[in-house]
Structure 1
Amino acid sequence: MQRLAFKMKLNKGQKEAYTKRHNELWPELKQLLKDNGVSEYSIFFDEETSTLFAFQKVSGSGGSQDLADNPIVKKWWDYMADIMEVNADNSPVSIPLEEVFYMP
């Protein structure tokens, strides 16, 4: 099991919309993540900087960031593009974070 962390940036004033959309996560997207080894996925919000911190536990070699070619993921990106910083393909600007400490 590996632990992955990355950060993203939410547009100002979009916390409620982001939370609402994730509270209504599409069942097919949730299943896709589980089928691809994502067993835990948490996202935290820093109000001061509008930074999202994401953490995943993943079995296998990759996490949600490796599903870019999946049509469900692309549809989700399009759905989220109006409330967060995105790349030209609407994927979230996502910066991987290096783990520097872990206490099991």
Structure 2
Amino acid sequence: MARIDYVELPSVTAHEVTRGFYAKAFGWTFTDYGPDYASTTSGDVDLGLNGQPGDALAAPLPVIRVDDLDAALGAVDSAGGTISRPIFSFPGGRRFHFIDPSGSELAVWESSDAATS
């Protein structure tokens, strides 16, 4: 079943400040994936803070988890979505980005656990 389980926020200009804000305001703890990326790992809907200057986001990015990334890419393409970033690997899995007919950008990801099972 596909569902949104992750939201990535831009935090390029104030990565540490943004991370500290969410920790203080909501008590969230983060796992660091390098100096410019951190995420919660609650297992429900997690939050990623993307502070990578070369990969800056313009807006929050909802991320949909699927069991078969290649099939999802085909389905998005067939439904009329525009692939804005082809499949790439990252720590934890693989994902791609697409633009829906209204112009919203979303991502679709598959866990590295799903890719090996």
Higher helix share: 1
Do both share a fold (TM > 0.5)? no
Higher strand share: 2
Between 1 and 2, higher relative CO (CA 8 Å, sep ≥ 6) is seen in 1
Which of these two proteins has the greater Rg computed from alpha carbons? 2
Output the TM-score relative to the length of structure 1.
Answer: 0.33
Output the TM-score relative to the length of structure 2.
Answer: 0.30
